[in-house]
Chain A
Amino acid sequence: MSWLLHRVDDRLIHGQVVIAWGHRYHPRRIWVADDASAASPWERDLLSSAAPGIEVRVLTVAEAAAEYGAEAEAPGGAFLLVRDLRIALALVESGAPVPSFNLGGLHYAPGKEKVNDYIYLDADDRRAARALLGRGVTLEVQDVPASRSQALTALDAECAAS
């Protein structure tokens, strides 16, 4: 099996990922592509403890891009998590052929504008989103499997503008 979900979520591993998406797809592994987390043994241990029964791999973006293709040969499926759109773009630019990202949680921070209840974007986020779309990567907004999936471009006209 191969990739089951590629998700952009500033909470990384949390309830929606493990409980909601986890029960839908039953991943055997969760990859977290995040340079800051990969650099911290403490953070790696924390993330690894957050998903009992699932192998958690915390990798740098470069490592995740380099090993991305090997997941297709691995038994069972996997989730891949990044914390924001800039890291998602960096992963793709580093060579990971991600076809689609699920946008599950980009919460409010100063300077960010509301797209819906759980997606807030600033100019840098939108630049990254447009770059991903320009590379043919689909961006779908959906927090949990039971909610409706919507294209980011349908919710945010600035992301649709080329």
Chain B
Amino acid sequence: MQRVPALLVMHADLAAALLRAGEKVYGRIEEVDLLSNEGLSREALEHEIARRVAGWTAGGLVLTDFWGGSCHICGVAAARGRGEIVIMTGLNLPTLLDYLHNRDQYGVADLADRLRTKGQASIRIQRGQAA
């Protein structure tokens, strides 16, 4: 199975911080590309994402922070006409870790489905115990 590549596109320094946090849990992380939207117009961000994913002949994942943000919108625009690329919003640390553990085990679409399920399941609440 070919490794599914990923590009993290997020606000400010979030992608770099998330990767750094991921390394504390997973160990050294290789072959994950990072991009901040900071200071970039929509046109510039879209162009940069398109440039980064141009070599993904078998597809890949553009992992972004929130739906409707410039990272998401520009990811969708950059991947226009490329159905082999999946844009995902709501990336969190558990989802990133699951990607790292499974990026060599699944195809793009199946991995995206798995990450969505894992990411949603990772958000849980637990009340403090009564004294």
A residues bordering B, Cβ < 8 Å?
10-15, 18-19, 42, 46, 49-52, 83, 105-109, 117-118
Contacts and interface: CB of A to CB of B under 8 A. Distances in A.
B76 interface: yes
Interface residues of B, number: 17
Most buried by B among A12, A50, A108, A109: A50
Contact of B41 (A11, A13, A117): A11
Interface of A is mostly: loop
Contacts of A18: 68
Interface of B: 11, 39-44, 66-70, 72-73, 76-77, 80
A116 to B, nearest CB: 11
A46 B76 contact: yes
B39 A14 contact: no
Most buried by B among A10, A12, A14, A46: A14
B11 A15 contact: yes
Contacts of B80: 42
A48 B11 CA distance: 21
B39 A11 contact: no
